[in-house]
Amino acid sequence: MCQILIIYTGGTIGMMSDPKTKALVPINFDQIMENVPELERLNCRIKVHSFDEVIDSSNMSPEIWGRLAGLIESNYDEVDGFVVLHGSDTMAFSASALSFMLENLAKPVIFTGSQLPISAIRTDAKENLMTAIEIAKAKKNDKVRVPEVCIYFDYKLFRGNRAFKYNSSKFEAFRSPNYPVLAESGVHLRFSINDIRQPGDDPLIVHKGMQNDIAVLKLYPGISPKVVETIVNSDVRGIVMETFGSGNTTTDQWFTDLLKGAIDSGKVIVDISQCKVGTVELGRYETSKQLKDIGVANGYDMTFEAAVTKTMYLLNMFDDPNEVRRWIETDIRGELTVS
């Protein structure tokens, strides 16, 4: 019989309104189980690990990602797949982080949650949870169907490091415009086999560390030298820069000089676009050519979530900024398309 490990970290799926404050707070997993008697009817053994302190995912941290990765490592040989119950607010960060931390992953790690608590009459939690389990145990001819870190939400399965939360009030909370959905559920559960990564034979390697020595520079017309200087000269090793269109920035000399100074001092600057669809093309316009010349790293079509967590992951792996830059520009877990 198959075996699935559900890891409960918190999130709306398991929240209830506090009688005093009326604010939504996480409850324990037993109370969740009471709302889903269907779990008993699955032809599968369900193991549950609930975090001691269940959280709203706004309190997620690299330290908790390390614990999640460790749990997956210690149960990896025993179970067929994992379902991670997680708040939707930072789910895309966690799914991206885990995709980098779990090298050579060959089993499903499916993140899910919900927009309404599982005890609510109109909840989206039950469908999300039950189908996430179906996906985590899905095999064809004994072969795992989705050996990836994914997000399942509102009838769609996304690659975790390609998705982002775009809507806080619809059940359809996630999108992944730069990569096709990996499966859709309706009357049938249909997998897009050609879009799913297939693992090699190498054993799982788990990297539990992340280096959070990073800053974010989001550009806007009128940004001042003082603001850019404060960010690029701060005590960090990596900067994720959100630029315009296909990776463009102002060509003002002060701006290029500040960026060049930071890069020459050993910092890595990653260029991703503020556009949610499309890719960075350094050198396509005059307004990005100077970035290429000074050694800004091309983040291609990475989501903000993937760029942040990949930078944290690589800074922990390498001291040499050239190595970090090289791997930023390389597709390592299906997170970017080199164009």
Name the residue number minimizing CB distance to ligand ASP.
Answer: 87
Supply 262's token pair: 């930071």
- For the chain, the residue count is 339
> Annotated catalytic, 123?
no
With binding defined as CB under 6 A, does residue 288 bind ligand ASP? no
Shortest approach of ligand ASP to residue 158 CB, angstroms?
15
Crossing angle of helices 253-264/286-294, nearest 10°? Answer: 20
Task: Answer yes or no whether residue 117 interacts with ligand ASP by CB under 6 A.
Answer: no
Question: Which residue among 81, 87, 160, 321 contacts ligand ASP (CB under 6 A)?
Answer: 87
Residue 244 carries which DSSP code?
A: B
Closer to ligand ASP by CB, 113 or 238: give it: 113
Considering only residues 37 to 56 of the shown chain, the ones binding ligand ASP according to CB under 6 A are 56
Q: Using CA atoms, how far apart are residues 317 and 309, in angstroms rounded to an integer?
A: 12
Q: Which two structure tokens, joined as six digits, stand for 239?
A: 């900067």
- Give SS3 for 162: helix
Beta carbon of residue 169, minimum distance to ligand ASP (angstroms, whole number): 11
Nearer to ligand ASP (CB atom), residue 58 or residue 194? 58
Which two structure tokens, joined as six digits, stand for 87?
Answer: 């708040």
Out of 50, 115, 176, 273, name the contact with ligand ASP by CB under 6 A. Answer: 115
How many CB atoms sit inside 10 A of residue 142's CB?
5
146 Rama class: left (phi>0) / alpha (psi -120 to 50) / beta: beta
301 binds ligand ASP (CB under 6 A): no
As measured in angstroms, the least distance from the Cβ of 12 to ligand ASP is 3
User: Which of 99, 92, 71 minimizes the C-alpha distance to 8?
Assistant: 71
Nearer CB in complex with ligand ASP: 114/288: 114
Task: Give the number of residues in contact with ligand ASP, rule: CB under 6 A.
Answer: 11
Q: Which of 62, 81, 108, 113 binds ligand ASP (CB under 6 A)?
A: 113
Are 217 and 239 in contact by the 8 Å Cβ rule? The answer is yes
SS (H, E, C) 140-180: ECCEECCCCEEEEECCEEEEHHHCEECCCCCCCCEECCCCC
Nearer to ligand ASP, 21 or 141 (CB): 21
Least distance to ligand ASP from the beta carbon of 192, Å?
Answer: 25
Indicate which residue of 12, 123, 303, 311 is catalytic. Answer: 12
Q: Is 184 helix (H, G, I), strand (E, B) or coil?
A: strand
Q: Closest separation between CB of residue 304 and ligand ASP, Å?
A: 16
Nearer to ligand ASP, 79 or 150 (CB): 150
Task: Give the pair of three-digit tokens for residue 34.
Answer: 């009471």
Q: Per CB under 6 A, which region of 40-48, 83-91, 174-182, 220-228 contacts ligand ASP? A: 83-91
88 binds ligand ASP, rule: CB under 6 A: yes
Tokens in use for 180?
Answer: 């096709």
Angstrom distance (rounded) from CA 301 to CA 338: 8
Query: 239 or 308, CB closer to ligand ASP?
Result: 308
Is 11 near ligand ASP (CB under 6 A)?
yes
> Quick count: other Cβ atoms within 10 Å of Cβ 201?
6
Establish if 12 lies at the interface with ligand ASP (CB under 6 A). Answer: yes
Q: Where are the alpha helices (DSSP H) in 244-303?
A: 253-264, 286-294
Q: Which residues bind ligand ASP (CB under 6 A)?
A: 10-12, 56-58, 87-89, 113, 115
Query: Annotated active-site positions, please?
Result: 12
